[in-house]
């Protein structure tokens, strides 16, 4: 089964036999862009490399999306305040243009992906191979460019619009386009990609972009751009309903690595456990820092380093917000119980979050359970993919889209379909509020909550209220934290980019 899945290489890896001409000073083991891009196989390799930049997007989203929302906070470790601060600032809305822990990396990785795609699109027409293959490669490339630009506009607003391979200094340093212009290009790319991409017909899928993935991203674009176009989004989402997707019977099974690219998956980022550098490590970031990781994960490792352990921690309010009987709670959140000595935690037992009562004399931590599938064989090395678009997401997004058009009666069946799988009773009416709540629980800890709050116009209100609650609970949070304004709904353009490209202007408020 796994052999059919797209495994993404890190960059280009080009190997071919040595030439017999010993005077050749450019051996084929060191191919350049001038000698590459000549065959179908070259373009397939380049396309796989363009997918590779998706991997860090999920990782940065743990901090820049999920931990920016009211779903989670982080564990405060008093013993070492130095290296933690550059990541904690995202949860507290204290980040600025000089903070490069994630914002600069994400920005650069998006543009790296765009650059790889643009090279493919700029060169593919000059190479002779089957038109059907060429069309499919272009479709996937256009989807990826749209995906990377959607990620950029969601997190930084308007950015330079690069649509050609960069071959000169002048082409490298463009001014910012408006957010509306970026969304316009996203829609153009996806409209062209849809007819070139296949409909998912068998499962597990390959991991490549499909028509359903392109339609899902297009619907998000229509519902997120400055001038919303809900009717067009409805068309795309309704089309997805007629494809071959469906909900798995058991919510937890969606995230099991044995079920990668299942019928509920519209698009997910691919990872592979092993020694090839393709592994994921999400669970190591999400569990508490502990002395005995082997008792929870099956392998001993030091997860006290600042980038691992104790991040994206579900809040008590988040746990309490689930309805009684919601099967998604225990599938999404677990409790690590044990003994605490200073900052050191010794894990003893795993508990369900639903109905948990702290035991006398024991310390406990909530953590995200979705990506916990032990035992693992190597430290910081797991097989879990990251879900980007799921069928349940499409159902709830369609419900939201319909309610925005005053079609609440049409929205209700889609909302209740998701609730039924969660073990909950049907609702009698669909509203903006109960759809948002359903999305919060259905898509919890999948990097949706922050952008959902922005799209629905609730981010400032919800996060300021969340900040008041967090300050009342935790004395370590500075008084200046959680000053959430409209300017804070996007991140700053990284400082380095402003230095090397004088055509750029910083976002307001930074």
**CA 225-430-355 angle, 5° bins:** 105
Contacts of 74 (CB under 8 A, 6+ apart): 67, 87, 88, 91, 310, 311, 312, 313
- Please classify residue 272 by burial: count the beta carbons closer than 10 Å to its beta carbon, then call 0-12 exposed, 13-18 middle and 19+ buried: buried
Please check whether residue 310 lies inside any domain of the structure. yes
**Last residue within a domain, chosen from 370, 403, 422:** 370
CA dist 335 and 348 (Å) reads 11
**Last residue within a domain, chosen from 341, 370, 399:** 370
- Same domain? For 53 and 110 the reply is yes
Establish how many alpha carbons lie within 13 A of residue 268's alpha carbon, considering only the half-sphere containing its beta carbon: 30
Please check whether residue 37 lies inside any domain of the structure. yes
Whether the bond between 204 and the residue before it is cis, its omega within 30 degrees of 0, is: yes
CA dist 162 and 164 (Å) reads 6
- Same domain? For 187 and 215 the reply is yes
For 211, 299, 439, 446, 497, the CA distances from 217, given in Å and listed in that order, are 10, 38, 17, 16, 27
pLDDT (tens digit per residue) in 225-284:
999 999 999 999 999 999 999 999 999 999 999 999 999 999 999 999 999 999 999 999
> What is the number of other CB atoms lying within 10 angstroms of the CB of residue 178?
14
Write out the residue range of the structural domain in which residue 254 sits: 2-15+30-274+388-456+485-500
- Same domain? For 400 and 365 the reply is no
Please check whether residue 505 lies inside any domain of the structure. no
pLDDT (tens digit per residue) in 401-455:
999 999 999 999 999 999 999 999 999 999 999 999 999 999 999 999 999 999 9
Contacts of 506 (CB under 8 A, 6+ apart): 97, 492, 493, 498
- Same domain? For 40 and 178 the reply is yes
SS3 395: helix
Please check whether residue 332 lies inside any domain of the structure. yes
CA dist 480 and 475 (Å) reads 13
Please check whether residue 490 lies inside any domain of the structure. yes
**CA 424-429-430 angle, 5° bins:** 85
The CATH number of whichever domain residue 436 belongs to comes to 1.25.40.390
Burial 457-487 (b: 16+ CB within 10 A, else e): eebeebbeebbeebbeeeeebeeebbebeee
- Same domain? For 270 and 287 the reply is no
Determine which helix (DSSP H) or strand (DSSP E) holds 236, and give its type and residue range.
Answer: helix 230-241
pLDDT of residue 22: 29
Please check whether residue 36 lies inside any domain of the structure. yes
- What are the φ and ψ backbone dihedral angles of 312, each rounded to 5 degrees? 55, 50
Q: What percent of the chain has pLDDT over 70?
A: 92
pLDDT of residue 68: 97
Q: How many domains does the structure of the chain reveal?
A: 2
- Same domain? For 254 and 190 the reply is yes
- Same domain? For 359 and 409 the reply is no
pTM comes to: 0.93
**Last residue within a domain, chosen from 339, 370, 401:** 370
Q: Are 415 and 430 in contact (CB under 8 A)?
A: yes
Please check whether residue 359 lies inside any domain of the structure. yes
Please check whether residue 509 lies inside any domain of the structure. no
- Same domain? For 218 and 339 the reply is no
- Same domain? For 309 and 431 the reply is no
- Same domain? For 252 and 222 the reply is yes
Residue 89, Cα to own-chain centre: how many angstroms? 19
- Same domain? For 359 and 421 the reply is no
pLDDT of residue 475: 94
Paired with 88 in beta bridges are none
Whether residue 20 has pLDDT greater than 60: no
- Same domain? For 174 and 139 the reply is yes
Whether residue 2 has pLDDT greater than 50: no
């Amino acid at each position: 089964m796994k052999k059919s899945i797209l495994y993404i290489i890190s960059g280009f890896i080009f190997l071919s036999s040595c030439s017999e001409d010993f005077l050749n000073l450019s051996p084929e083991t060191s191919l350049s862009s001038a000698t590459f891009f000549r065959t179908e196989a070259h373009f397939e390799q380049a396309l796989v490399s363009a997918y590779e930049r998706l991997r860090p997007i999920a990782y940065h989203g743990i901090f820049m999306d999920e931990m920016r929302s009211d779903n989670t906070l982080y564990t405060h470790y008093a013993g070492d305040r130095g290296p933690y601060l550059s990541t904690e600032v995202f949860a507290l809305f204290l980040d600025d243009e000089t903070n490069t822990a994630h914002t600069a990396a994400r920005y650069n990785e998006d543009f790296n992906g765009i650059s790889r795609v643009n090279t493919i699109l700029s060169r593919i027409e000059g190479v002779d191979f089957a038109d059907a293959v060429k069309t499919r490669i272009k479709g996937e490339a256009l989807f990826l460019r749209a995906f990377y630009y959607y990620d950029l506009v969601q997190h930084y607003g308007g950015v330079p619009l690069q649509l050609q391979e960069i071959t000169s200094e002048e082409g490298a340093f463009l001014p910012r386009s408006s957010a509306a212009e970026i969304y316009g290009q996203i829609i153009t790319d996806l409209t062209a990609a849809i007819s070139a991409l296949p409909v998912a017909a068998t499962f597990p899928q390959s991991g490549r972009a499909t028509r359903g993935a392109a339609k899902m991203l297009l619907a998000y674009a229509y519902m997120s751009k400055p001038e919303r176009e809900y009717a067009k989004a409805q068309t795309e989402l309704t089309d997805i309903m007629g494809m071959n997707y469906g909900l798995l019977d058991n919510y937890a099974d969606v995230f099991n690595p044995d079920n990668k690219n299942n019928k509920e998956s519209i698009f997910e980022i691919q990872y592979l456990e092993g020694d090839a550098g393709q592994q994921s490590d999400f669970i190591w970031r999400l569990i508490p820092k502990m002395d005995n990781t082997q008792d929870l994960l099956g392998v001993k490792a030091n997860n006290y380093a600042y980038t691992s352990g104790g991040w994206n921690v579900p809040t008590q309010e988040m746990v309490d917000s689930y309805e009684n009987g919601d099967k998604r709670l225990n599938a999404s959140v677990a409790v690590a119980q044990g003994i605490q000595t200073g900052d050191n935690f010794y894990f003893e037992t795993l508990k369900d979050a639903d109905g948990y009562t702290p035991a006398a004399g024991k310390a406990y931590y909530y953590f995200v359970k979705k990506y916990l599938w032990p035992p693992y064989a190597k430290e910081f090395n797991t097989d879990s993919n990251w879900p980007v678009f799921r069928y349940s997401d499409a159902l709830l997004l369609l419900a939201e889209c319909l309610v925005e058009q005053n079609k609440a009666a049409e929205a209700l069946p889609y909302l209740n379909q998701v609730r039924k799988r969660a073990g909950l009773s049907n609702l009698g009416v669909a509203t903006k509020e109960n759809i948002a709540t359903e999305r919060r629980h259905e898509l919890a800890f999948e990097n949706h909550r922050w952008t959902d709050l922005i799209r629905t116009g609730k981010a400032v209100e919800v996060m300021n209220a969340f900040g008041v609650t967090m300050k009342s609970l935790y004395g370590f949070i500075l008084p200046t934290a959680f000053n959430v304004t409209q300017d804070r709904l996007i991140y700053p353009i990284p400082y380095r980019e402003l230095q090397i490209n004088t055509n750029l202007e910083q976002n307001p408020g930074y």
